[in-house]
Structure 1
Amino acid sequence: EERAAAVPSAHATAWYSLHDLARISARDTVLIHSATGGVGQAAIAIARAAGAEIFATAGSPVRRELLRGMGIEHVYDSRSVEFAEQIRRDTEGRGVDIVLNSLPGAAQKAGLELLTFGGRFIELGKRDIYGDSRIGLFAFRRNLAFFAVDLALLTLTNPDVVHRVLATVFEQIADGALPVPETTHYRLSD
């Protein structure tokens, strides 16, 4: 089925990031950047299933309204680093436990600084990685963890992990614990 084909990449990336690396739990607060995309939507479902409190960003008013319509209370603009100060205000200065990041440059640094003690930063973007961007180590004084996720590379270097993650994701969807991703079909002529 078409929707089964939509599952692997987005859901596997989100599951591996949040469960295997960040060890998400109901005690956590998680910031999901670009939350209306495929990985973002999968991450929202996974974070909800774990019982975590969700903070989300999107790049347009329409997309932010979509997130609010999904019942997400904490929604911010991903095109401005003001999200960091707004989240600090909304968390009474605490910040978040997990950042699932896809934003480059200053937004990446703002997300890293937003992590609370023992926080986990999951980098999904490639621009800063392949651009060899510097992030500085000062933020890590708070016992932070930084992970970069590349599912394609993981498939080549550790296919058993990817197989396990995919099996888990398909099982979670079959059991109804995670939703089947929405798909949009386009004609080839379009």
Structure 2
Amino acid sequence: MKAMEHAHFGRVETRVLDGADVVWEGTARLGDAEVEARLWAGPSGEPDHEELDALAARLSDLPTLDATARTALRAYLREDRSFVDHHIEELEDSETVARLVRDAAGEEVGADPFAAAMRLSGVGLWLSGVSDGPPVILDYVFDPELSDQILAVKLTRDGAVVSVDWES
């Protein structure tokens, strides 16, 4: 049987899965906000208690994970301004863009204030064998009512950044 009880995730069952699917949905606290979180599994094997513990620990310490991810976001945006420039040019109706441009006082909008304006929209936790990628993915958005673009910060089970990828 491909199922187990876990203190944080409850009953995790993968025996009926044909492919990758969400086996747990919940939220995690980040300051005053609640962020949606999903645990993904697949039919590739039994859930591993140690792996579930590590993923639960990442989710339980979301403020630290967010700080690590934001450091990576700032570095990414400093190295490649495309994401910033895209949003500044395309989101003329955004109050956040107007504020960032105003605060830049004639200079280009910097990576640091732009990254600070981004919001964590979701956390994906992936059990081994479901994906070849890193098991923790934090999705950051800028003005989600006006843009569907995401910067996905991908991390190891221990919380080390692997990559930042622009997705939509």
TM-score class normalised by the smaller sequence = under 0.3
Q: Which has the higher helix share?
A: 1
| TM-score where L is the length of structure 1 | 0.21
More strand by share: 2
TM-score by length of 2: 0.23
